């Protein structure tokens, strides 16, 4: 476990003090909401928890940019704790979001859940890089299996890439709008930067070389010696992603400028996607359409459990389908390539998309809305 006092690499003392005061205030509020015997710990994760939070330069001085991601460890089943404490905790998040000007999020988990869960990028980042707000210093001793990056499975690398390419998809919708606002430009630029970083990160996770620090990850990525044709592009994009992560900015680029960058990043992202799937599923290079109709994308999941999850997610329609034993995230993996990399084929494949989403779609906009609803639950 690492211990970091600063929450940014080079933020001003005023910014660090502001973030520290926020953490202290949140710590007091959480202890007021959750009884001491039940509260196991409060951790700050994300970039600020790892000491690499974004520093936004403004006329008034350095300001925070990334979300503040807090993990509230409460003894007992997380779902029951969500029912008991969730409203008060998430109300606190809304108040702090308004006060700080950036998103403040809380995830209710338990030490037992962390200890029993399998390896993932999400848990690796939390265990090896966090700031302890309240709780014993050795609270995560039973979770050290998450601290070995070589244990991160390849489907976790694809999940990371899927989520960041989903950001590219949502940015594509902004680029299509009749009116392109400054907010749209900022959203698009931010999601392009996240995808630039994720392409290299997904490759490192696939190769067992992932690291909590984005700076260390870039060094490792640049040190890979491989003849793969797109590697140089991935390294160059990753450098831009690292720079944005540490020193973000609000883009005011034009639609045409962002569209050109978006297209370049999308092209490389599809190459990385196929590179990863060749190693994960032994899948040869295919078109976005053929990819969606090929093998099971979530072979690590259990068939019977998948059927129960589909019943809970889609109702009886999800059970009476050819995909009854498939995990719902597979629909996202199947359809994202078509929506992002071959949108012109959507109308001709509307019936197949409707089957995937268990919801009728006829246009790209319909499919995007269905995708977004499912992504919110299975990202």
What does the alpha-carbon distance between residue 59 and residue 41 come to, in Å, rounded to a whole number? 37
pLDDT at 196: 98
For residue 140, pLDDT over 70 is answered with yes
What does the alpha-carbon distance between residue 196 and residue 267 come to, in Å, rounded to a whole number? 11
Judged by average pLDDT, the poorest of 2-11, 17-26, 35-44, 319-328 is 2-11
Mean pLDDT for the chain?
Answer: 94
User: Which pair of structure tokens corresponds to residue 197?
Assistant: 């970083």
Residues of the chain with pLDDT > 70, as a percent, come to 99
For residue 4, pLDDT over 70 is answered with no
CATH architecture classification, 13-147: 2-Layer Sandwich (3.30)
Strand, coil or helix: 324:
coil
Tell me the per-residue pLDDT of 229-262, one tens digit each, with 9 for 90 and over: 899 999 999 999 999 999 999 998 999 999 999 9
Highest mean pLDDT among 60-64, 127-131, 233-237, 310-314: 233-237
Helix axes 255-280, 154-176, angle to 10 degrees: 160
pLDDT at 101: 86
* Edge-first strand listing for the sheet containing 104-109: 104-109, 68-74, 39-44, 131-134
pLDDT at 5: 81
pLDDT category at 180 given cuts 50, 70, 90 is very high
Domain boundaries along the sequence of the chain: 13-147, 158-282, 286-379
* 41, 111, 136, 211, 378 from 108: Cα distances, Å: 11, 10, 18, 25, 17
Helix axes 231-246, 182-206, angle to 10 degrees: 120
pLDDT at 318: 78
* 9, 234, 247, 291 from 243: Cα distances, Å: 12, 14, 6, 33
Which has the higher per-residue pLDDT, 160 or 252?
160
Query: What is the average pLDDT across 262-285?
Result: 96
pLDDT at 300: 93
Largest CA distance in the chain: 59
Query: What is the average pLDDT across 132-145?
Result: 94
User: Which pair of structure tokens corresponds to residue 129?
Assistant: 């890089």
pLDDT category at 2 given cuts 50, 70, 90 is very low
pLDDT category at 294 given cuts 50, 70, 90 is confident
β pairing state of 68-74 and 61-64: unpaired
């Amino acid at each position: 476990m690492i211990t970091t006092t600063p929450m940014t690499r080079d933020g001003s003392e005023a910014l660090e003090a502001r973030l520290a005061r926020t953490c202290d205030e949140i710590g007091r509020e959480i202890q007021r909401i959750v009884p001491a015997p039940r509260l196991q710990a409060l951790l700050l994760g994300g970039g600020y928890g790892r000491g690499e939070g974004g520093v936004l330069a403004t006329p008034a001085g350095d300001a925070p940019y990334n979300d503040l991601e807090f993990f509230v460890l409460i003894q007992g089943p997380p779902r029951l704790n969500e029912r008991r404490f969730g409203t008060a905790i998430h109300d606190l998040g809304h108040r702090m979001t308004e006060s700080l000007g950036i998103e403040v999020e809380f995830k209710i988990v338990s030490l037992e859940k962390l200890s029993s869960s399998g390896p993932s990028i999400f848990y690796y980042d939390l265990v090896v890089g966090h700031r302890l707000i309240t709780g014993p210093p050795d609270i995560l001793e039973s979770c050290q299996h998450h601290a070995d990056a070589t244990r991160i499975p390849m489907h976790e690398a694809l999940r990371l890439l899927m989520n960041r390419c989903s950001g590219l998809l949502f940015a594509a919708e902004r680029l299509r709008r009749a009116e392109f606002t400054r907010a749209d430009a900022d959203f698009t630029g931010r999601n392009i930067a996240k995808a630039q970083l994720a392409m290299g990160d997904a490759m490192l996770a696939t190769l067992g070389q992932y690291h909590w620090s984005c700076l260390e990850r870039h060094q490792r990525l640049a040190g890979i010696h491989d003849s793969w044709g797109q590697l140089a592009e991935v390294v160059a994009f990753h450098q831009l992603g690292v720079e944005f992560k540490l020193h973000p900015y609000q883009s005011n680029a034009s639609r045409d400028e962002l569209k050109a960058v978006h297209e370049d990043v999308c092209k490389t992202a599809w190459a990385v996607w196929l590179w990863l799937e060749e190693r994960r599923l032994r899948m040869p290079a295919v078109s976005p359409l053929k990819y969606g109709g090929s093998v099971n994308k979530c072979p690590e999941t259990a068939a019977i459990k998948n059927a129960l999850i589909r019943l809970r997610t889609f109702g009886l329609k999800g059970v009476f389908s050819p995909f009854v034993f498939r995990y719902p995230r597979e629909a996202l993996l199947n359809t994202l390539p078509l929506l992002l990399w071959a949108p012109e084929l959507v109308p001709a494949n509307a019936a197949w998309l409707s089957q995937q989403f268990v919801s009728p779609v006829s246009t790209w906009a319909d499919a995007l809305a269905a995708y977004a609803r499912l992504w919110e639950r299975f990202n």
